[in-house]
Structure 1
Amino acid sequence: MLTALKKLLTNWTLHFLTLWIGIKAISVISYVYHVHTWGNYIKNDDGTPVTAVQYATNPDDRLFFVALLVLLTEVVRQFIFKKYHFIFFIAGCLLTAMISTAGIVYERPHVFNQKAKLTLIEPILYIAAYAFIYIIVRDYYLQSKNRQLQRIQQSENELHALKAQLNPHFLFNALNYLYGTALKEKATDTAQGIDMMSDMMRYTIHGMHENFVPLQDELKFMENYLQLQQVRLPVKDNIEISTQIVFDDHNYHHKIAPLLLLPFIENAFKYGISMDSQCEVQIKIAVAGNELQMDVFNTIVQNRVEVNGNNTGIKNTIKRLDFLYPDNYRLDHKNTGLGYNVSFWLKLSS
């Protein structure tokens, strides 16, 4: 909630300043043109003509009206537009216009006292049209900007995906496991492991060229990853791993950005597993309707000798979420000193 209010305040400030500067600029230009064409018609108390600078900086009773209009417009854009049926968006624009018009009546009643009451409809229509056009144009601009950023991000991903998306340390350990199994057994387990690795590499190569992939492919990739993580680790009393992926056939028509879940789970194994200390990793992924919920927990291994990373994978994933799922995801993480929790919610696309 605090994040939403902070975002609303930021958007309101930028919108208000832009609109107010535009209104004042038009007013000053009109004033200067009038003075140049017909002479000065506004005087100071001492009789001297009001300059353009004085005209621009004089108190203006439109300030309250503009601030109210911008606030209501941003509320409609952030909390109603694209979140509810289009008719609610239209109703929000009309309500914005009616409340703003009431503000005009309060601030400048003389404007309407000089005219027929039916002229109240005019500002309502103009303001509703402004709110409607502003929100549509702003959304189109943001979508275009996001598409451009996605193309740039995708180009970077294509260069780095193979070496960055899967931890090389994990790959070497998994291959060592397959090699050891091949020496001890005659093929069944080894073939299964190689098949899982082939599926993972195939998915990685395919996924880096796509913005969205079928949800079932992403979940299958995560199942393979978790199985290989568990078999490559030794069976020890101090290591406890719990994984669960819950979904059904009704969810298969949904799509998701590829390799979106991996960085959070990879970090749990990277920083939460110890060969000597008591450690635990818990992972649950559940899909219900068009919503995906993932909860990841890992103990924080004390006195690690490895050098900690800079969480580049997590940072890049958050950027992708902002580009691909604006306002359609929640990510919370908590470090208790002994354990690390990640809670991730995502509204899936079809």
Structure 2
Amino acid sequence: MKKYIEPIIHILVWGIGYFLILNYTSTIGDFRKDRGPYWVALLFGMLMNQVVFYTTAFFLVPKFLRLKKIKALIFSLLGGFIFINLFESIVDYSYLTNFFSSASESFVVYLLYNSVIGFFTLLVALSYSLIKYWIQNEKLKRVLLEEKLSTEMAFLKSKINPHFLFNVLNSFYAKSLKHNVPELADGIAKLAELMRYMVYETNEDKVALEKEIHHLKNFIQVYQLRIAEDDKVFINFNIEGDIKSVKISPMLLIPFVENAIKHGIDPKTKSIIDISLKAEAKNLYFKVTNTIHQGAYGLTDEPSGFGLDNLKKRLSILYPNRYTLETKEEKGYFISLLILKLE
């Protein structure tokens, strides 16, 4: 029911506005009813004001504010305001003057009148859109905060001190070196790095892309410890572009790799995972391709998995209108492509 409240309010406001103005103008006597429908001029003017209001409030302001292009927003509003007022004044002056009983007014009078009404409409539209934008942002912040708190609570409920876990892993690392098992020692060290990154590094809104890549590599290396030497499993990671100056939200890329490993590896058959990351012209391209095996394919909406819906929800909060996410199956492979517009 809540989603219908806003449209109903809009219909009521415009409807009441039409009714009041029509009743007011009908008492002025400036219209000749015998020469046509005197309300046509008013109807056309109100229609133009609706174009100004809804174009401003529902398209221009949300689009350019999210992209943080204030100058482009100002120029768009100014250009649209001038165009609409000129168009409305030309129509009034050329075609609608015959609805008035008095002598035809000059074009400047029409332009001035329409500009005043249009400017008032523009101010109302700006106020409405800015308030709505602020409310939506506050809601998104609350959602993100609630998700962060729920994650922290889940960790606290485990009743395991992370320092205790790190100490245990350090003990295992020392024992594996003592017994000359370097592969196990390396795996334990990578696992400790994974945990340290998830516990301490992800508290920031943005982390260096290099750290996120290092985390991905550690995750892959830890998983590869489970793969036997004779298993035909191949995981490739290719990086291009300047990644040193790039920052992104933490733990944003790992779901794609987890998904590829979960659904793309079968030790009994040849399995391939290709991961490519490219930073170019304030855009980040992250592509993961994996062979398709048994079970559910690709990013699914499972309770135990990350899920495509959850991933889109997080992206919409962290990168509103600044991401593209594509998934598809092609010739026995599942392909995920994420494109981020970086600030």
Q: Tell me the TM-score normalized by structure 1.
A: 0.70
| 2: CA distance, partners of 1:29 / 1:232 | 75
Counterpart of 2:342 (choices 325, 329, 348) is 348
| 2: CA distance, partners of 1:246 / 1:233 | 27
| 1: CA distance, partners of 2:318 / 2:7 | 27
Aligned to 2:216: 222
Counterpart of 1:285 (choices 254, 261, 277) is 277
Unaligned runs of 5+ in 2: 29-41, 158-168
SS of alignment partner, residue 234 of structure 1: coil
Aligned to 1:310: 302
Task: Give the paired residue count.
Answer: 298
Aligned to 1:24: 15
1:21 shift after superposition? 2.7
Instruction: Report if the CA contact (8 A) 2:276-2:288 is conserved.
Output: yes
Q: 1:347 to 1:300 in 2, by over 3 A?
A: same
- 1:141-160 Cα deviation digits (max 9, x unpaired): 22112111111121222244
Instruction: Report if the CA contact (8 A) 1:271-1:300 is conserved.
Output: yes
SS of alignment partner, residue 284 of structure 1: strand
- 1:182-221 Cα deviation digits (max 9, x unpaired): 4996154333322211111011112554433333322221
Given the alignment of the two structures, is residue 213 of structure 1 paired with residue 210 of structure 2, yes or no? no
SS of alignment partner, residue 196 of structure 1: helix
Given the alignment of the two structures, is residue 96 of structure 1 paired with residue 80 of structure 2, yes or no? yes
- 1:40-87 Cα deviation digits (max 9, x unpaired): 969xxxxxxxxxxxxxxxx95456324422453233235444536422
| Structure 1 residues 169-180: aligned runs within 5 Å | none
| 2: CA distance, partners of 1:158 / 1:194 | 24
| 1: CA distance, partners of 2:180 / 2:27 | 100
- Counterpart of 2:239, as a letter, is I
Aligned to 1:275: 267
1:265 shift after superposition? 0.8
Q: 1:199 to 1:348 in 2, by over 3 A?
A: farther
1:332 shift after superposition? 0.2
| Structure 1 residues 178-189: aligned runs within 5 Å | 182=176, 186-189=180-183
Give the stretch that moved more between structures: 329-338 or 211-220: 211-220
Instruction: Report if the CA contact (8 A) 1:242-1:281 is conserved.
Output: yes
Give the stretch that moved more between structures: 206-215 or 326-335: 206-215
- Counterpart of 2:290, as a letter, is N
SS of alignment partner, residue 232 of structure 1: coil
Aligned to 1:69: 52
- Counterpart of 2:188, as a letter, is I
Instruction: Report if the CA contact (8 A) 2:234-2:271 is conserved.
Output: yes
Instruction: Report if the CA contact (8 A) 2:206-2:248 is conserved.
Output: yes
Q: CA RMSD in A?
A: 4.0
Counterpart of 1:260 (choices 252, 255, 267) is 252
**Identity, % of aligned positions:** 22
Unaligned runs of 5+ in 1: 1-10, 35-39, 43-58, 164-174
Q: Tell me the TM-score normalized by structure 2.
A: 0.71
1:329 shift after superposition? 0.8
Given the alignment of the two structures, is residue 152 of structure 1 paired with residue 146 of structure 2, yes or no? yes
Q: 1:129 to 1:84 in 2, by over 3 A?
A: same
Q: 1:327 to 1:269 in 2, by over 3 A?
A: same
